[in-house]
Chain A
Amino acid sequence: MTWTGRLERRDIGTGAWVLVTDQGEQLQLVGPVPPELRGRAVVVEGATADALGAAMVGPIVQVKRVRPA
């Protein structure tokens, strides 16, 4: 699956990568996230994971790839 939105870093717990989708949903990204894309519009490729996490900012997406939109 792919999602588009803005890549953000949240200062929650030990820190979490978040995609704020164009629909306003917050997804927590787990996996390889390029820090230099922080604050940028991005496309995330990955899969939703039936997982829970320490960050608790939103549903968890296991990332395959993040690229600029």
Chain B
Amino acid sequence: MLPTLALLVAGPLAHADVVVVDFVDGTSLDEARVRADLPALEWVHPLSADESLGMAEVSDVDEAIARISALPGVESAERTIRMEALGYPDDPLYGRQWNLAAIGAPAGWRVGGGAGVTVAVIDTGVSRVADLADTELLDGASFVAGEPGWSDGNGHGTHVAGTIAQSTDNGIGVAGVAPHARVLPIKALSAQGFGMSPWIASAIDEAADRGAQVINLSLGGSYSKVIATAVEKAQDRGVLVIAAAGNSGREGVGYPAALPGVLAVSAVGPDDALAPYSSWGAQVGISAPGGDKRKTDGGILQDTVDGEGGHAFKELQGTSMASPHVAGAAAVLLSATGGDVARTRALLEGTARDLGPAGPDPRFGHGRLDLAAAVRRLVVQQQGILFGLGGAAALLLAGLGGTAATRRSRTLVTVAAGAIAAGGLFFLPLLPLPPSPVTALLSRPIALWPAALLPDPYWRNPLLLSAALPFLATFVLGPTRSLGPVVAGLCAGVAVSFGHAAVMGGLVVWPLPAAASTAWLALNAVLTALCAIAAIGVARLRDKEEARP
């Protein structure tokens, strides 16, 4: 029963009949097959040949692990754990990413995986390693003296970028938290892994100028005035700044993590205990998997440069690895909420799994990141309510249009259209379906569809966030017999979306100032509602005409 349940919630599940064997590097496939007495053994992926990592089906996996582990030339043998729900994702090393299972990353993939959101990785640079092949890397920048390009000479920044947006379901290596987010690589740390404060401050300015909505700072040290100013300016522009708490293993959060408004991230291991190296203190806002290499496969596995011109899947640990989990989760939630920074932060903190003493505490902050819970809260509590409001508005509208028995089915159509327009098919991400751009789109309120299709902030332009499209739909499609009630419902739902955004805030029409944006949304909520009334009115007139003998 349990495996079935695990399948339903799309959790990780032991794949009972496959053993993964890590041979000493340089072992050839033929040697490996003979040594392990597994003629059917294959490399996990062509790219794992360098690491001599193979897998094979066996009849008794426990027996095989015991037998093979003891052999010379074998570094480890273990059962593979894979995402079994409909085989997604197909990244062969995904089973070793306990960290993604822990935070519920698949839920984030089902709501679009951060599509449309730009995350700046201010680090040692980012190199396009094999498993970043499908990741959208923007043209980056470097502020490191003597290192003009933004490629990674250290391996830290590429690993961090991988946690955020590793190419996922691409048949190679591992997965990332927000594979559809855009990564803006900005180098501010040298190949030796350190950087001067003006480099980092300039990098933060550049990230904000280039439209980053999230900045990940897997770096730290002592207080710097220029960095504090740059962070404050970025935050004033609506950028969510996320930073690693530090690796001192002691109390005392480093800077910039300790700056006001920065979401400081401490690190936990696979057992959800605070990692021994993690700094902690009052400024910690949340914790996330950073790895604990004292445990087998306890590090965070991502693709990065190997220092010899190639790439390698490396397990690293540190609060540097924890921070990008939160940055990726933030990208997912920003995408799904249409760029609502306050709501994203509230979801991250409010749904974190409470660890340590009840309530926020200096070691874990609000708790360990739980993206699946954040997505659930977003879609059920928030979109679900909008779904209901949209349906109610459309029902009211249908009442205006008359509720004669002959029109009941059309009333139903109007109500359904209103509910779906306002709340989206919010329940889709809760189903164990493989993530797809189509279901991710359908799960959003219609007014937020452009957020998944166009880059921020351009999708938030005054034309798309206006009554223009509803008006066009009313004018063109409203008079048709079959689509009139649908258009009326859709307009009612979109009016609810605009009205909700005007009242609750969070959605800012670009490039308007906040007050003008609210007024614009309110005005267009009214105009869109008028479109809905017009559409239902036309439908009613049509019915009357048809009813004449």
Q: Which residues of A contact B (CB under 8 A)?
A: 10-14, 16, 26, 28, 30-31, 49-60
Between-chain CB contacts (< 8 Å), 11 pairs: A10-B277, A14-B159, A14-B193, A31-B192, A51-B196, A52-B224, A52-B256, A54-B124, A55-B247, A56-B221, A60-B194
Give B194-226 interface residues, CB cut-off 8 Å to A: 194-197, 200, 218-222, 224
Known: A13-B316, A13-B320, A14-B156. A56 touches B197 (CB 8 A): no
**Would you call A11 and B189 a contact (CB within 8 A)?**
no
B362 CB within 8 Å of chain A: no
**Would you call B218 and A54 a contact (CB within 8 A)?**
yes
Cα–Cα, bound, A12→B220 (Å): 13
B192, B200, B244, B256 — most chain A CB neighbours (10 Å): B192
Instruction: Classify the interface of chain B: helix, strand, loop or mixed.
Output: loop
A50, A52, A57 — most chain B CB neighbours (10 Å): A52
**Would you call A54 and B320 a contact (CB within 8 A)?**
yes
B123, B192, B193, B293 — most chain A CB neighbours (10 Å): B193
**Would you call A55 and B193 a contact (CB within 8 A)?**
yes
Cα–Cα, bound, A59→B293 (Å): 24
B497 CB within 8 Å of chain A: no
**Would you call A54 and B156 a contact (CB within 8 A)?**
yes
**Would you call B219 and A53 a contact (CB within 8 A)?**
yes
The 8 Å CB contact of B194, one of A11, A26, A30, is: A30
Which residues of chain B come closer than 8 Å to A55, judged between CB atoms? 193-194, 247, 318
Cα–Cα, bound, A36→B223 (Å): 33
> Residue of A at shortest CB range from B192?
A30
Please count how many residues in chain B sit with their CB below 8 Å of the partner chain's CB atoms: 37
> Residue of A at shortest CB range from B154?
A14
**Would you call B193 and A30 a contact (CB within 8 A)?**
yes
Which residues of chain B come closer than 8 Å to A13, judged between CB atoms? 156, 159, 193, 218, 247, 316-318, 320-321
The 8 Å CB contact of A60, one of B156, B221, B279, is: B221
Cα–Cα, bound, A26→B219 (Å): 16
B246 CB within 8 Å of chain A: yes
Cα–Cα, bound, A9→B359 (Å): 36
The 8 Å CB contact of B193, one of A11, A26, A53, is: A53
Contact with A along B239-267 (1 / 0, CB 8 A): 00000101110000011100000000000
Closest CB in chain A relative to B135 CB, distance in Å: 20
B474 CB within 8 Å of chain A: no
**Would you call B154 and A54 a contact (CB within 8 A)?**
yes
**Would you call B200 and A52 a contact (CB within 8 A)?**
yes
Closest CB in chain A relative to B249 CB, distance in Å: 8
Known interface pairs A53-B189, A53-B193; 6 further A-B residue pairs with C-beta atoms within 8 A, sorted by A's residue number: A12-B317, A12-B318, A52-B189, A53-B195, A55-B194, A56-B279
Cα–Cα, bound, A13→B222 (Å): 19
Which residues of chain B come closer than 8 Å to A31, judged between CB atoms? 192
Which residues of chain B come closer than 8 Å to A28, judged between CB atoms? 194
Closest CB in chain A relative to B287 CB, distance in Å: 15
**Would you call A52 and B192 a contact (CB within 8 A)?**
no
Contact with A along B101-131 (1 / 0, CB 8 A): 0000000000000000000000110000000
Which residues of chain A come closer than 8 Å to B196, judged between CB atoms? 49-52
Closest CB in chain B relative to A37 CB, distance in Å: 18
Closest CB in chain B relative to A61 CB, distance in Å: 10
> Residue of A at shortest CB range from B222?
A59
Cα–Cα, bound, A54→B85 (Å): 36
Cα–Cα, bound, A13→B300 (Å): 10
B80 CB within 8 Å of chain A: no
Cα–Cα, bound, A53→B196 (Å): 9
Cα–Cα, bound, A26→B252 (Å): 13
Which residues of chain B come closer than 8 Å to A14, judged between CB atoms? 154-156, 159, 193, 316
Which residues of chain A come closer than 8 Å to B194, judged between CB atoms? 28, 30, 49, 51-55, 60
Give B143-195 interface residues, CB cut-off 8 Å to A: 154-156, 159, 189, 192-195
Cα–Cα, bound, A56→B256 (Å): 11
Cα–Cα, bound, A58→B279 (Å): 11
B383 CB within 8 Å of chain A: no
Closest CB in chain B relative to A3 CB, distance in Å: 17
> Residue of B at shortest CB range from A53?
B194
Cα–Cα, bound, A10→B321 (Å): 15
Which residues of chain A come closer than 8 Å to B221, judged between CB atoms? 51-53, 56, 59-60
